[in-house]
């Protein structure tokens, strides 16, 4: 139990939650940021870290992972409390203070809450091949935090979407050898990336799936793949397997917090207030009443700024909503 009462607790460290964290710091709010993932950045960090983004204000183009780096640096300058790897499972009010409980059983107390949970908590679709679960973290990976772990390794990549293809292209000069297996002959990835993949040194095996994964107990050493048309099997010597077969995003417990929800959106007014006083929303999860729904980073930024400044006046009624111009603030 964390007994400190925070001014604002932000659920979700995607672009909206990170920018909100910065703004709350600027407004001198005692701020906590919680995310179910082990890393900040939300969809940008998990789904397309190696892609360029062209519609973020201030950049004609920026690599997604560089944007996350900048957002984190900006957000963390006011030293918020950051809790990663915990999914908020319940939210209720007790004696005027919100109590949030996570899947680790931790309680977090806060005067106001901003839900910036995007499309919900992510979990990667798991490889169902025999032995894959035994080698998770021992050569079988679902995320790439640092591609240098594949240096001079024989890598098997599983999948045909943007993540699989982008990682194959990104790691091809780091790994000793890459084999990419995809169960169909049609890719979901961007056409240009697929064309580049086909010209590269990556061995692409279409209509192939993974049957089993094995190793010496401590690390993976082999994978058996099979042609799903002829059922012919091939054994590959591998040092690592990167599985990119999609993610599931699930609003999950958020649906039970008493918020007004329509589909995947939490209803809010133009001040980003929900039906529960003191609970605000921003980003992809927000469904502003009568607003146009645009699930974009820029929209999330604006909603985050609105939500935090309205929350500031809720927590401290002597404060104005308008924060003043940051360019005129002394650092």
Ligand X SMILES: Cc1cc2nc3c(=O)[nH]c(=O)nc-3n(C[C@H](O)[C@H](O)[C@H](O)COP(=O)(O)OP(=O)(O)OC[C@H]3O[C@@H](n4cnc5c(N)ncnc54)[C@H](O)[C@@H]3O)c2cc1C
Cβ-based nearer residue to ligand X, 283 or 287: 283
Q: Which is nearer to ligand X, 239 or 284 (CB)?
A: 284
User: Which residue has 């002829």 as its token pair?
Assistant: 230
Of the two residues 87 and 182, which places its CB atom closer to ligand X in the complex?
87
Please state, in angstroms and rounded to a whole number, the distance separating the CA atoms of residues 133 and 241.
12
Number of H helices, E strands in the chain: 6, 22
Closer by beta carbon to ligand X, 93 or else 188: 188
240 contacts 156 by C-beta, under 8 angstroms = yes
Which burial class, exposed, middle or buried, applies to 285 when counting CB atoms under 10 A from its CB (0-12, 13-18, 19+)? Answer: buried
330 backbone dihedrals φ, ψ, rounded to 5°: -80, 145
Closest CA to 11 of 62, 63, 87, 68: 87
Return the residue nearest ligand X (CB atom). Answer: 118
Distance of closest approach, residue 67 Cβ to ligand X, in angstroms: 9
Q: What one-character-per-residue DSSP string does 262-312 give?
A: ETTEEEE-TT-B-SSTTEEE-GGGEEETT------HHHHHHHHHHHHHHHH
If the CB atoms of residues 48 and 207 are measured against ligand X, the closer one turns out to be: 48
Q: Shortest gap between Cβ of 304 and ligand X (angstroms)?
A: 8
Q: Cβ 79 to ligand X, closest distance in Å? A: 20
Please, which residues have CB within 8 angstroms of residue 167's CB and are 6 or more apart in sequence? 50, 144, 147, 157, 242, 244
**Interacting residues with ligand X (CB under 6 A):** 11-17, 34-37, 42-44, 47-48, 53, 55, 87-88, 116-122, 162, 254, 283-284, 295-298, 300
Least Cβ distance, residue 62 to ligand X (angstroms): 10
Instruction: Provide the minimum distance between the beta carbon of 27 and ligand X in the complex, in angstroms, as a whole number.
Output: 19
**Minimum distance, C-beta of residue 75 to ligand X, in the bound complex (Å):** 12
Which of 75/220 has CB closer to ligand X? 75
Task: Report the C-alpha gap between 206 and 128 in whole angstroms.
Answer: 18
């Amino acid at each position: 139990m964390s007994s400190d009462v925070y001014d604002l607790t932000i659920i979700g460290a995607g672009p909206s939650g990170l920018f909100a964290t910065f703004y709350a710091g600027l407004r001198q709010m005692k701020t906590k940021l919680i995310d179910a993932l082990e890393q900040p950045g939300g969809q940008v960090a998990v789904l397309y870290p190696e892609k360029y983004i062209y519609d973020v204000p201030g950049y004609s183009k920026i690599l997604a992972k560089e944007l996350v780096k900048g957002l984190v640096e900006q957000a963390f300058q006011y030293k918020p409390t950051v809790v990663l790897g915990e999914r908020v499972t319940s939210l209720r009010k007790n004696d005027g203070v919100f109590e949030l409980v996570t899947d680790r059983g931790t309680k977090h107390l806060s005067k106001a809450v901003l839900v910036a949970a995007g499309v919900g908590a992510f979990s990667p679709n798991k490889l169902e091949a025999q032995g894959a679960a035994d080698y998770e973290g021992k050569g079988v990976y679902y995320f790439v935090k640092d591609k240098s772990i594949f240096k001079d390794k024989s890598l098997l990549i599983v999948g045909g979407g943007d993540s699989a293809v982008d990682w194959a292209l990104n790691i091809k000069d780091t790994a000793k050898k890459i084999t990419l297996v995809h169960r169909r002959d049609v890719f979901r990835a961007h056409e240009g990336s697929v064309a580049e993949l086909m010209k590269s040194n990556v061995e692409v095996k279409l209509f192939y799936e993974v049957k089993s994964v094995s190793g010496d107990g401590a690390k993976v050493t082999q994978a058996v793949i099979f042609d799903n048309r002829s059922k012919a099997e091939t054994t590959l010597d591998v040092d690592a397997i990167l599985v990119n077969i999609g993610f599931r995003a699930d609003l999950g417990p958020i649906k039970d917090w008493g918020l007004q929800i329509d589909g995947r959106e939490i209803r809010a007014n133009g001040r980003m207030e929900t039906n529960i006083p003191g609970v605000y929303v921003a980003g992809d999860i927000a469904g502003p009443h009568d607003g146009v729904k645009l699930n974009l980073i820029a929209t999330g930024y604006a909603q985050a700024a609105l939500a935090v400044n309205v929350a500031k006046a809720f927590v401290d009624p002597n404060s104005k909503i308008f924060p003043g111009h940051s360019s005129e603030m002394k650092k």
